[in-house]
Structure 1
Amino acid sequence: MKKITFVFLACIALFNFTSCSDDDGFTYTAKPDPEGIAFTNSTLETYNLTASNASNIAERLVWNAANFSVQTPVNYEVQGSSVESFESFSVIGVGTQTNQAVTVANMLALAREAGLDNDPTTAAPNNGTVYFRVRAYVGADAGNVVEQLSEVMAVSVTLPEEAEEGLDLPKIFVVGNFLASGGYGTDWTPADAVPLAAAAEGNTAYEGYVFINSETPEFKFLPANTSFDGDYGDTGADNGTFSGTLVQEGEVNAGTPDGTGGYYIVNVDTDALTYDLTKTSWGVIGNATPTGWDSDTDMVYDSATKTWSVTLDLTEQEAPDNGIKFRANDAWDINFGDTDADGTLDFNTNQNIGIPEDGNYTITLDLSNPRQYTYSISKN
């Protein structure tokens, strides 16, 4: 199994809370502990992380409680980012406890976002840094919320001799008028185009999930995310047409089947010159959920993290016969389980995902890496 090694460089981050007030004149006074509020665990070790143990805990971050001097629970949100500025970030977990498990899958996702690679044919580095911080807040998470962020904890990330499986799958890219509103970058910019992946070298059938967040979608498919050379478009007469067939000369901008935006699974075959899109919304279902196998519990998509998530109460269930599965559109046509219990998803498998004990959980579904779909289940 190919490996990624992560080395934690720094583990101490202090909260410096100050008194503040909201628009209603409602004042919180922060009173931290005498020694300050800090991560209390030491993480000066090397971790060998592989996709085969993606659901395992890589590290449990622990910090001192924040004191806002009010009789209300303090909420903590652990964030991970590939950039120190946290211009974009993933939410690892939210809860009132002063600790949070960080799984191997969480780490792998941040490594991919950091653009790490050890392919000698690319200019991407094989080592870099990812970052963690904790957000403490009181009040509703909108309007009158009062919050404070910890300092950033830097984590050194290194890919050794071989790249993580799936990072080097053959790819094509979707570029169009949805990149900005979908959270990908600048419209019609090849470098910001969304990847689709083939299953193996020599395979011309590509797939991936794309948030085409446009009222009038228009896009093309690129052989590389460096230019429009060799781009594929629709065979129709007008931009935004969906015919399901592609051409590289005299093409127009492609569109969606119903002409509307949404979160789509996109399939393209560059040999057959065909493409198709299926709009999806996602939920969890199973006898570990409040509604059992009768109906889904809907998940919510976050364009900043490129993930779907939901927080709900789950009951202890043992896989493979019990637990939960992910499915699209309240139907079984597109569903995922976990055959190997490794944190990576398998299409239309009969293996459910087990829940270790009763409790309130946050479930995250990450379909942003084509053909390398992952999930995390964190108890709050």
Structure 2
Amino acid sequence: MKNKISILITAFILSISFNACTDDDNLRFQTVESPEQITFLNNFLSEYVLSEETASNNAERFLWATPDFGAPTAVNYFLETSPDGTFTEENTEVLASTSETQVSVSVSQMIDLAEAKGLSNEQVENEDGEPVFDENGDPVYNNIGELFFRVRADLGDNAENSPETTSAIQVINVRWLIASTGEEGPVSFRNLFLVGNATAADWNNDNNNMPLVRNPENEDQYTFTGKFLGGDTNEFKLLEVRGQWQPQWGLSDGTLAVNDGTGTDPDAFVNDGEAGYYTIEVDLDSTTFEMTAFDTSDLTTYPSLSIIGEATALGWDGDTEMTQSSFDEHQWFITGVELADGEMKFRATGNWDINWGASTPISGFGTMGGPNIPVTAGTYDIWFNDIDGSYIFIPVE
């Protein structure tokens, strides 16, 4: 009798286990038939400048919101491009696929896309291979155009007859810098200038506004270490062009944002501390901003500072003096200085015991006794920061 009862109990347990396994095997997530449209979260620039010198840099990091498919399952994303923006089956290229909600596109990739649609950074030629000029005798180029992007999301193999959602088409305006012919000046990069009542310029957008220094290895990264006011005068923003209010950078919901002239001005950055020295770091690609207090206890104040070298009018035999900022004694500038092809350095008190140099042109971070700075002939506004040895040359048009 006991054996029969044991057999019945065992059979009952096996039956329950089999049914449970069967139910698990048949489990399916129910997805929504029409998920919400996926949307980009970027603050796109009004124009993206492409150059061979910056080909390895990121041009843009495409960010998007996670769409609601009505099921807790992984989503596949595809960043797509189309030469003419039609996105037909035959005219769509998947630029990247990922399970993340972001993809970076390099300058090199944008150059390839620009070239594929017929853009070029060289002068247009006629059927006979001769260079083309306009009615004013200026060279004709086909270096400006539009690139088209969208992001598509689906569930792939995670659901039968997977629904998908596709973003609106994002138009990216590009300008491919003209190839150097050996006669042109330096390549033009984007600059950022301080404006606001926490800065030397106050809220004047054309008041010799101090520039941030661009990372020579990454044109999207900028830094500045210097004096900021606090208290009731604690706000500032960043401008790309002195004398113009747009493009204007600030904060939107705590995230770095820009008004390129087609939107709404962002909120100001705020110095929450007292007046003093701070380091700000800006990354336009990752849209991040950071401001930290800087210890000034070991700083040296110099009575004079100058540029010197074969690229300057006085060569290596004389100093061209820079002007010390009356707002911040560690910031030095010289405006409208003409330089020749060659090299130069910064030095204090006209003495070689205190000199700064680096190997990168246009912008960089000089070290004490460092190498000569390479210079391309042109007219520049030059800023030097004796706190960290940073410098930036701003071409004057």
In which range does the TM-score fall when normalised by the shorter chain?
A: 0.3 to 0.5
Which entry has the higher C-alpha Rg, 1 or 2? Answer: 2
Length-normalised TM-score, structure 1: 0.33
Q: Pick 1 or 2: higher relative contact order, CA cutoff 8 A, min separation 6.
A: 1
Q: Which has the higher helix share?
A: 2
